Amino acid sequence: QQPVQSPQAVILREGEDAVINCSSSKALYSVHWYRQKHGEAPVFLMILLKGGEQKGHDKISASFNEKKQQSSLYLTASQLSYSGTYFCGTEEGGTSYGKLTFGQGTILTVHP
Partner 1 sequence: NAGVMQNPRHLVRRRGQEARLRCSPMKGHSHVYWYRQLPEEGLKFMVYLQKENIIDESGMPKERFSAEFPKEGPSILRIQQVVRGDSAAYFCASSPQGAGTGELFFGEGSRLTVL
Positions touching partner 1 (CB under 8 A) are 2, 29-30, 32, 34, 40-44, 47, 49, 87, 89, 91, 95-105
CB of 76 to partner 1, least distance (A): 22
The neighbour count for residue 63, using CB atoms within 10 Å, is 17
Who's near 105: CB < 8 A, 6+ residues apart?
A: 5, 8, 36, 85, 86, 87
CB of 64 to partner 1, least distance (A): 13
CB of 53 to partner 1, least distance (A): 12
- For partner 1, give the closer residue by CB, 54 or 104: 104
CB of 1 to partner 1, least distance (A): 12
- For partner 1, give the closer residue by CB, 15 or 93: 93
> In the chain, what are the helix, strand and coil shares in percent, each to the nearest 5?
5, 55, 40
C-alpha distance from residue 41 to each of 27, 35, 81 (Å): 28, 9, 15
